[in-house]
Structure 1
Amino acid sequence: MFHSLLLRIISAAACLSICMTLSGCAGDRKASTTITEPIVIKKLVVFGFSRALAPGSTPDVIRDPISGSLFSAEPVTEEGLAFMNENLFTRILALGGYELVSPSQAQGVYQKLIASGKLAGSGRLDMLREIGLAFGADAVLAGYLYRWQEREGTDFAVNRPASVAFSFNLLSPPSGELIWHNKFDKTQQSLTENIFDFKTFVKGKGRWMTVRQLAEIGLEGLVAAMPLESD
């Protein structure tokens, strides 16, 4: 069994290498960015993720209100949302060099702005801008969690693989503009189903991942891709 798996891995890797050499094939798709040079900032509000659909909602195709990207959305649990926000803030904190505002602090100001009526009629981008201005921040990081499906099965066999999707948006409170955006939208596949996703196969150690493990791969990649520099 191991010998057969090894042969499949070698064969898939060879095919992937040939394809990338001849036609420049790439793995994960990324939303286009709006800047090319790193942004130097001092203070960052990590607003975090919001659920696109709460439990009990009907699955739907939803357009991200900030970036405009389309997502196949499913109801998201409170547990999944909490995991994403905690993991995101921990990763940003580990970067060092920034004065950070946590998701809980940002939510506190958000509730005060709602109570004051200042956000009446405001869109998502305007709302995030107001929160950033309230903290005197240089940038606000926010996104939506569109899908959080746990695998049905084990490390070695599944009836349904893990699937996760989220948007990742960075905006400037002073200008009110979206300055960078990205996304992660993935349902794990076997190597034989998608030989171009060899990177995910390796990170998962050839096993079927849990939704948390798959989400961490996405967060790791997008946090590393953020065009930020500390002052």
Structure 2
Amino acid sequence: MLKLLPLLLFLSSCTLGPGIFESRYSGDLERRSIRRIAVLPPEAKPVAERAPSPYVSPPAAPLKEEAAASVLSDHIYSTMASFAQWQIVSEREVREAVSMIPKGSEAARAKNLGELVHADAVVSSKVLRYRERVGEEWGAKSPASVSFVMELWDVKRGEVVWSGRFDETQRALSENIFALFEFTQRGVRWLKAEELALEGVKKAVADLHQALYRGIT
């Protein structure tokens, strides 16, 4: 069972601009010695467990669960590896360690992985929704739609010390005035689901980095 943080949690959210993103983190996060981080391959949430989303309508074709999870995992690893303050455990080392971890809860898997690769923390994630764009980038019949959750586990304490959720279905400029900001950033085109996922991962990783190093110069 998920171990709740005994510390004050801070909540931040962003609803303007591309995507809806919100996160929460432990009040002492920046004081924890977290440098070496492993990325646990994400598990796609079974379709039967998915809650209906008000942001998307059914017609968009879903990508296979495994492919969506792989896309998310690749984006998380490459984005986190670009930050000099972190030492990200190699994908090869993670694969070898994961093959030795017994099935169990996400908390148990994260802790086991962290201990096997001597990581300070483990990032886990879940794909909640991943629907590909139907149509072309200049005229989509149905937009891409992506939602996922990322969590940072403190290996030593077995706690989730940061979590973030990204959710976006790309909107037409005529549907919402805030879409003007999106199109200004992206250009007047419809993104693929992989591109939407990458934007979400960049936002999540930047938020995690800021939470870990706030107040540190």
Q: What TM-score do you get using the length of structure 2 for normalisation? A: 0.75
Identical columns (%):
23
Q: Which of residues 172, 178, 182 in structure 2 aligns to 1:196?
A: 178
CA contact (8 A) 1:139 1:173 kept: yes
Q: Which of residues 130, 133, 136 in structure 2 aligns to 1:154?
A: 136
Question: In the alignment, what sits opposite 2:26?
Answer: 35
Question: In the alignment, what sits opposite 2:153?
Answer: 171
Question: In the alignment, what sits opposite 1:210?
Answer: 192
Question: In the alignment, what sits opposite 2:212?
Answer: 228
Matched letter for residue 83 of structure 2: L
Measured at CA, do residues 29 and 35 of structure 1 come closer, stay the same or move farther in structure 2, by a change above 3 Å? Answer: farther
The Cα offsets for residues 174-196 of structure 1, whole Å up to 9 and x where unpaired, read as: 10111000011111111221223
CA contact (8 A) 1:48 1:103 kept: no
Q: Which of residues 64, 73, 78 in structure 2 aligns to 1:85?
A: 73
The Cα offsets for residues 23-60 of structure 1, whole Å up to 9 and x where unpaired, read as: xx94244344132453542211111422223xxxx454
Question: In the alignment, what sits opposite 1:45?
Answer: 38
Q: Distance in 2 between matches of 1:141 and 1:43?
A: 11
Q: Distance in 2 between matches of 1:26 and 1:97?
A: 28
CA drift of 1:228 comes to: 2.9
Q: CA RMSD in A?
A: 2.8
Question: In the alignment, what sits opposite 1:107?
Answer: 95
Q: Distance in 2 between matches of 1:43 and 1:167?
A: 21
Matched, 1:187 2:169: yes
Measured at CA, do residues 195 and 163 of structure 1 come closer, stay the same or move farther in structure 2, by a change above 3 Å? Answer: same
Alignment size in residue pairs: 189
Measured at CA, do residues 50 and 202 of structure 1 come closer, stay the same or move farther in structure 2, by a change above 3 Å? Answer: farther
Measured at CA, do residues 41 and 59 of structure 1 come closer, stay the same or move farther in structure 2, by a change above 3 Å? Answer: same
3-state SS, counterpart of residue 113 of structure 1: coil
Q: Distance in 2 between matches of 1:76 and 1:199?
A: 31
Q: Distance in 2 between matches of 1:42 and 1:34?
A: 17
3-state SS, counterpart of residue 225 of structure 1: helix
Q: Distance in 1 between matches of 2:197 and 2:164?
A: 14
Select the structure that is richer in helix: 1
CA drift of 1:205 comes to: 0.7
Measured at CA, do residues 217 and 143 of structure 1 come closer, stay the same or move farther in structure 2, by a change above 3 Å? Answer: same
Q: Which of residues 71, 94, 111 in structure 1 aligns to 2:82?
A: 94
Measured at CA, do residues 32 and 189 of structure 1 come closer, stay the same or move farther in structure 2, by a change above 3 Å? Answer: same
CA drift of 1:197 comes to: 4.0
Which is worse superposed, 196-205 or 123-132? 196-205
Matched letter for residue 92 of structure 1: M
Measured at CA, do residues 199 and 220 of structure 1 come closer, stay the same or move farther in structure 2, by a change above 3 Å? Answer: farther
Matched letter for residue 85 of structure 1: S
Q: Which of residues 105, 118, 137 in structure 2 aligns to 1:123?
A: 105
CA contact (8 A) 1:35 1:179 kept: yes
Matched letter for residue 39 of structure 2: V
* Structure number, greater radius of gyration: 1
CA drift of 1:204 comes to: 2.2
